[in-house]
């Protein structure tokens, strides 16, 4: 029981951030609980909020969702049922409406917005946002590399550097990879030893080329400045294409005409 409580409180703490906007929402709900004139609306707002919080903290829910359904990673989604934006804004305006003077109303609205700015965090401040390089919103070089290795009407298999695998199959499903982005997600514990080898400061060329041949990969892509224990050419590869930052090596003995799934 204590462990379950620890789990929900940690999920809750992580979800609410600094807690100020959630506090704003709680105060807004309490205000409407006392001041909202439409009874059906009042009880709807109170009951949805109260029931959602109860369900979230209920040990039975933890047991069902986290333990039985193994969906603990998305347990926070229960809190998506809290109508935070609508209730917070509606209550703010109802409070403002209680005052007659126009200047006071404007001042209160501005104070509320300042509170939201201080208590919240503008999404565009996130370091995950960067200027988009093109309409696809992925690095140009990924598209260039995919187009370099693609064979019309066929799939090809390519051993890609770790930093590119997230993008490759978003752009082209004709490019297969012996491991995908799923091996990089720590929580899923699907780590792949070759992907780890590719991520090392110095990569053992024999290990990656052996793996590429074993998995039927026709190409190996390596970052130009990536340190390797030996030249890739030593293991039966030839330089096939060079982009700004990467070199594509072709396995000289590879079967280039592996049929597509439909032909199998």
Partner 1 sequence: MILSVLLTIVWLLLIPFGLGTWVTSLFSRKFITPGLILLNGYLSMTALFEVLFLPFLKFGWSFNALALVFAIISGVLALVSLIMGGTTFSSMEKPKFDFLFFVFLILTGFQIFMRVYQKVYDGDDAFFIATATTSLQSNTLFRINPYSGYEMGSLDVRHALASSPVYLAFLSKMTGLHPLIMAHIPYGIVLIVIYYCMIYSAGHTLFDDEKDSKYISVFACMACVFTICGNISSSVPQTFMLMRTWQGKAVLANICIPAAFLYLIMAAKTVKEDKIPLGIYVMLGIAGLSATAMTTSGAVFIPALAVGGMLVISIVRKEYWAILKTFVSQIPAIAVGVVYLLLK
Site residues for partner 1, 73-102, by CB under 8 A, read 74, 76-77, 79-81, 83-86, 88-90, 92-93, 96-97
Beta-ladder partners of 159: 220
Tell whether residue 173 is a contact of partner 1 (CB under 8 A). yes
Tell me how far apart the alpha carbons of residues 74 and 67 are, in angstroms, rounded to a whole number: 12
Shortest distance, CB of residue 212 to partner 1, whole angstroms? 14
Residue 136 contacts partner 1 per CB under 8 A: yes
Q: Which of 4, 7, 16, 144 binds partner 1 (CB under 8 A)?
A: 16
State the angle between helix axes of 39-57 and 20-35 in degrees (0 to 180), rounded to the nearest 10.
Answer: 140
- From its phi and psi, is residue 222 left (phi > 0), alpha (psi between -120 and 50) or beta? beta
Interaction between residue 259 and partner 1 (CB under 8 A): no
Does 122 help bind partner 1 (rule: CB under 8 A)?
Answer: yes
Residue 60 in the binding site for partner 1 (CB under 8 A):
no
Minimal distance in Å, beta carbon 195 to partner 1?
11
In 10 A of CB 174, how many CB atoms? 17
Residue 87 CA to residue 49 CA, distance in Å, equals: 10
Q: Which is nearer to partner 1, 74 or 107 (CB)?
A: 74
Rule CB under 8 A: choose which of 56, 179, 211, 219 binds partner 1. 179
Report whether 30 contacts 17 (CB < 8 A). no
> What number of other Cβ atoms are within 10 A of residue 52's Cβ?
16
Cβ–Cβ < 8 Å for 159, 198: yes
Are the C-beta atoms of 86 and 32 separated by less than 8 Å?
A: no
As a whole number of angstroms, the distance between CA 10 and CA 207 comes to 41
Among 116, 148, 207, 247, binds partner 1 (CB under 8 A): 116
Number of residues that bind partner 1 (CB under 8 A): 83
Contact range with partner 1 by CB under 8 A, out of 35-43, 194-202, 230-238, 250-258 = 35-43
What minimum distance in Å lies between the beta carbon of 202 and partner 1?
26
Place of tokens 């109170």: 46
User: Which residue of 67, 117, 229, 233 would you call a contact of partner 1, by CB under 8 A?
Assistant: 117
Q: Which is nearer to partner 1, 10 or 229 (CB)?
A: 10
The angle formed by the CA atoms of residues 63, 26 and 60, to the nearest 5 degrees, is 10
54 binds partner 1 (CB under 8 A): no
Task: Kindly state whether residue 258 participates in binding partner 1, applying the rule CB under 8 A.
Answer: no
**Residues 195-224 contacting partner 1, CB under 8 A:** none
Output 15 or 240, the one with its CB closest to partner 1: 15
């Amino acid at each position: 029981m204590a462990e379950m409580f620890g789990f929900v409180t940690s999920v809750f703490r992580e979800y609410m951030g600094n807690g100020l906007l959630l506090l704003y929402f709680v105060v807004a709900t309490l205000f409407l609980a006392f001041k909202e004139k439409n009874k059906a609306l009042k009880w709807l707002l109170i009951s949805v909020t109260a029931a959602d919080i109860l369900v979230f903290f209920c040990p039975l829910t933890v047991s069902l969702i986290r333990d039985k359904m193994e969906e603990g990673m998305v347990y926070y989604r229960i809190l998506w049922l809290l109508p935070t934006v609508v209730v917070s804004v509606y209550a703010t305006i109802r409070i403002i409406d209680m005052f007659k003077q126009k200047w006071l109303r404007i001042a209160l609205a501005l104070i509320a917005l300042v509170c939201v700015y201080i208590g919240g965090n503008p999404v565009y401040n996130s370091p995950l946002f960067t200027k988009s390089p093109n309409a696809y919103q992925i690095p140009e070089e990924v598209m260039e590399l995919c187009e370099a290795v693609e064979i019309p009407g066929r799939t090809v298999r390519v051993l890609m550097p770790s930093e590119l695998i997230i993008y490759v199959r978003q752009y082209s499903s004709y490019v297969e990879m012996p491991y995908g982005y799923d091996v990089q997600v720590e929580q899923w514990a699907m780590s792949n030893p070759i992907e780890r080898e590719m991520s090392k400061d110095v990569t053992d060329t024999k290990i990656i080329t052996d793996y590429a041949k074993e998995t039927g990969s026709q190409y190996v892509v390596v970052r130009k400045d990536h340190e390797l224990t030996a030249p890739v050419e030593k293991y039966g590869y030839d330089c096939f294409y060079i982009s700004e930052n990467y070199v594509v090596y072709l396995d000289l003995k590879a079967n280039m005409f592996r049929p597509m799934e439909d032909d199998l």
